[in-house]
């Protein structure tokens, strides 16, 4: 018996392609991936003869067009899956809002804080509700610098903000020559200038088996994020590929950059905002981004001629303990609400964060369970393009901020 393949000896790596379906070369631009499971399989449409025969038997069986079906399942961590979020939203990650040389004042406002600027505009500087920012400036008290701050609401001059976990801000100001910036980078479904990224993906089986399977032309078909109240947050990415596979006995992406080492996110660490207000009774949530990909099969080729991009369709659900009819009223009245899910890797003031901002959402259903314990209410939702940007919400369906993307 030969050497049997083991999952611990398997490595998965990928690189963005310069042209769809053309295998990307090795290099440090390739990246190894963390995973719980991954499967990339070359599949084929099967064709069975329908010919009527007097012997009651099947005359032939053929394979039709080939394709790649891929799935990647992991525990959600900042920076690990950012390329796939950008591909699904059709926009590369880019820096968010920032301001420098401002006069800023921090004040307590109930259980939250306000950050007021003397001039200029938070709105025109590109800050959004749900963004996680940090302050900078030599005049600030050390307790206010380099700390994660989440924006709850915005006007031209005033941010209403909160900190994560038990971290606090120190009221002070005005502080001259101060700055504020969205941490890391962000991506969102754009109105124009859409990208159409594809990836070459390799699964290499080491440990003496030494088999490389390289799949070309993989586009992100969907991403599903699960946010449990207890346990690690998870991400499931599905791919549709050209069907072309290169095999060998040596690793194709031999010099790929090592996988990320950022911490994992859990549901108990972070925050959920509904219309800019922290929601304290969410029991779990899920977010699904589907691109509705379609393979272009043509006569004379076993491989697809292209993979067509579909709409950015974002749906999901969340559950809450039932305490009042607010969510049912949102549902019945077709009221648009905003949702923000921000997840941190720890309780440190500068922990890494990945944030999902849905500026315009309609509820599609509201149902409740029953029993002796707390009654749970389930809500499904459809995310929509936001067309009202004067309130500090972006003109998109979904915005993803990742503080570890530099």
Domains of the chain, with CATH numbers? 7-43+67-93+188-402 (no CATH), 98-183 (2.40.30)
Question: Is the per-residue pLDDT at 215 higher than 90?
Answer: yes
- At residue 245, the pLDDT reads 84
Q: What is the mean pLDDT of residues 268-295?
A: 92
Quick one: pLDDT band at residue 406, thresholds 50, 70, 90? confident
Question: Is the per-residue pLDDT at 73 higher than 80?
Answer: yes
Burial code (b: 16+ CB inside 10 Å, e: under 16) for 114-133 equals: bbbbeeeebbebbbbbbbbb
- At residue 371, the pLDDT reads 79
Considering only residues 105 and 323, tell me which one the structure prediction assigns the higher pLDDT. Answer: 105
- At residue 330, the pLDDT reads 95
- At residue 195, the pLDDT reads 98
Q: How far is CA 323 from CA 287, 319, 375, in A?
A: 23, 12, 9
Question: Is the per-residue pLDDT at 1 higher than 80?
Answer: no
Q: What is the mean pLDDT of residues 58-85?
A: 95
- Asked whether the beta carbons of 335 and 352 are under 8 A apart, the reply is no
Q: What is the mean pLDDT of residues 27-54?
A: 95
Question: Is the per-residue pLDDT at 370 higher than 90?
Answer: no
Q: What is the mean pLDDT of residues 96-109?
A: 97
Alpha-carbon distance 84 to 251, whole Å?
23
Considering only residues 95 and 370, tell me which one the structure prediction assigns the higher pLDDT. Answer: 95
The two tokens of residue 56 are 């009651």
With residue 329 as reference, give the H or E element that holds it.
Answer: helix 326-332
What's the CA angle centered on 282, arms 325 and 382, to 5 degrees? Answer: 75
- Cβ neighbors of 156 (< 8 A, separation 6 or more) are 121, 122, 123, 124
The two tokens of residue 391 are 């309130």
Alpha-carbon distance 90 to 85, whole Å?
8
Poorest-pLDDT segment among 2-6, 342-346, 402-406: 2-6
pLDDT digits (tens, 9 = 90+) for 48-61: 999 999 999 999 99
Helices (H) and strands (E) in the chain, counts: 2, 25
pLDDT digits (tens, 9 = 90+) for 108-133: 998 899 999 999 999 999 999 999 99
- Asked whether the beta carbons of 360 and 391 are under 8 A apart, the reply is no
Closest by Cα among 124, 135, 164, 128 to 272 = 164
In whole numbers, what is the pLDDT of the chain averaged over residues? 95
Quick one: pLDDT band at residue 207, thresholds 50, 70, 90? very high
Strands 158-163, 149-154: pairing is antiparallel
The Cβ of residue 176 has, within 10 Å, a number of other Cβ atoms equal to 13
Closest by Cα among 232, 229, 322 to 284 = 229
Q: How far is CA 13 from CA 67, 161, 215, 324, 337, in A?
A: 19, 39, 11, 48, 39
- At residue 69, the pLDDT reads 95
Q: What is the mean pLDDT of residues 212-237?
A: 96
- At residue 243, the pLDDT reads 87
The residue to which tokens 């690690």 are assigned: 232
- At residue 244, the pLDDT reads 82
- At residue 276, the pLDDT reads 93
- At residue 280, the pLDDT reads 77
Q: What is the mean pLDDT of residues 227-236?
A: 94
């Amino acid at each position: 018996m030969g050497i049997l393949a083991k999952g611990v000896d398997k490595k998965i790596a990928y690189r963005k392609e310069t042209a769809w379906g053309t295998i990307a070369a090795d290099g440090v631009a390739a990246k190894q991936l963390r995973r719980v499971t991954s499967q990339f399989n070359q599949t084929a449409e099967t064709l069975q003869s329908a010919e009527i025969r007097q012997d009651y038997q099947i005359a032939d069986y053929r394979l039709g067009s080939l394709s790649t079906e891929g799935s990647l399942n992991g525990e959600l961590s900042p920076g690990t899956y950012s390329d796939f979020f950008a591909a699904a939203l059709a926009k590369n990650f880019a820096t968010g809002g920032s301001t420098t040389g401002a006069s800023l004042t921090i004040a307590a406002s109930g259980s939250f804080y306000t950050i007021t600027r003397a001039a200029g505009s938070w709105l025109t500087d590109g800050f959004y509700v749900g963004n996680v920012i940090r302050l900078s400036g030599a005049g600030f008290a050390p307790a206010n610098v380099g700390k994660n701050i989440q924006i709850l609401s915005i006007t031209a001059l005033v941010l209403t903000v909160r900190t994560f976990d038990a971290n606090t801000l120190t009221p002070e100001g005005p502080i001259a020559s101060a700055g504020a910036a969205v941490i890391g980078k962000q991506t969102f479904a754009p109105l124009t200038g859409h990208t159409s990224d594809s990836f070459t993906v390799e699964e290499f089986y080491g440990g003496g088996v030494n088999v490389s399977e390289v799949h070309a032309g993989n586009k992100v078909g969907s991403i599903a994020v699960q946010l449990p109240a207890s346990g690690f947050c998870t991400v499931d990415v599905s791919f549709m590929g050209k069907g072309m596979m290169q095999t060998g006995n040596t690793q194709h992406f031999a010099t790929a950059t090592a996988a990320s080492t950022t911490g994992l996110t859990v549901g108990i660490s972070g925050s959920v905002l509904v219309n800019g207000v922290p929601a304290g009774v969410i029991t779990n949530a899920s977010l699904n981004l589907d691109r509705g990909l379609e393979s272009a099969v043509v006569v004379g080729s076993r491989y697809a001629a292209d993979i067509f991009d579909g709409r950015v369709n974002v749906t999901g659900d969340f559950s809450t303990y039932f305490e009042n009819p607010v969510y049912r009223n949102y549902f019945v009245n077709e009221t648009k609400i905003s949702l923000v899910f921000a997840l941190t890797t720890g309780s440190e003031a500068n922990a890494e964060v990945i944030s999902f901002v849905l500026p315009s959402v309609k509820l599609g259903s509201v149902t409740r369970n029953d029993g002796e314990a707390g009654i749970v209410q389930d809500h499904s939702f459809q995310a929509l393009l936001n067309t009202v940007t004067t309130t500090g919400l972006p003109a998109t369906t979904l915005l993803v901020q990742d503080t570890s993307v530099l």
